Amino acid sequence: RLPTEAEWEYACRAGTTTPFHFGETINAEVANYRAQDWKLGDTINPGKYDRGRDGEYRQKATSVGSFPANNFGLHDIHGNVWEWCADDWHNNYQNAPSDGSIWLNSDEDSSDKMLRGGSWNLNPRNCRSAYRYRLDAGSRDYYIGFRVVCAFPREDSS
């Protein structure tokens, strides 16, 4: 199954509290994102985050394992492709489940789902562990992917 948003962020952070599992900033040697300034209309989008530096803009997704793993052994969790989560989009965490379960809207008309992780084609700030993005569940594109959770039955402790 897809991870919940809470599971995804827990897995991404891997015990850290910094914006990225590898520290306070990001560079193109540790993740695949748009590591150069780019212009959209009149807006200049930065290729740097915090005290980071410009780097290679690869213009496509890279093979899994191209960048260092986090403390849980997960590769490429920042950048590369946006990753679907099982949760529906919510503007904030008010009334979110506290047990990590999938959070669905009661509104049948809402089709926006949660994505996390950033992408090779966008800003480094979008790759932060806490960054949230929404997209219609029917959307498909070359910068969107997924990661799966293998849930095993819990053993009865009685």
Place of tokens 């949760």: 87
Q: pLDDT value at position 78?
A: 97
Place of tokens 């403390």: 71
Q: How far is CA 71 from CA 12, 19, 57, 82, 87, in A?
A: 9, 15, 26, 20, 25
Q: pLDDT value at position 111?
A: 86
Q: How far is CA 131 from CA 41, 63, 82, 98, 126, in A?
A: 23, 23, 11, 19, 6
pLDDT digits (tens, 9 = 90+) for 80-113: 999 999 999 999 999 999 988 999 987 766 789 9
Longest CA span, the chain: 64
Q: pLDDT value at position 106?
A: 76
156 pLDDT band, cuts 50/70/90, is: low
- Residue 158 reports pLDDT greater than 60: no
pLDDT digits (tens, 9 = 90+) for 22-34: 999 999 999 999 9
pLDDT digits (tens, 9 = 90+) for 105-140: 877 667 899 999 999 999 999 999 999 999 999 999
Percent of the residues in the chain that have a pLDDT greater than 70, as a whole number: 95
| Euclidean distance between CA atoms 3 and 1, whole angstroms | 6
pTM for this model (two decimals): 0.90
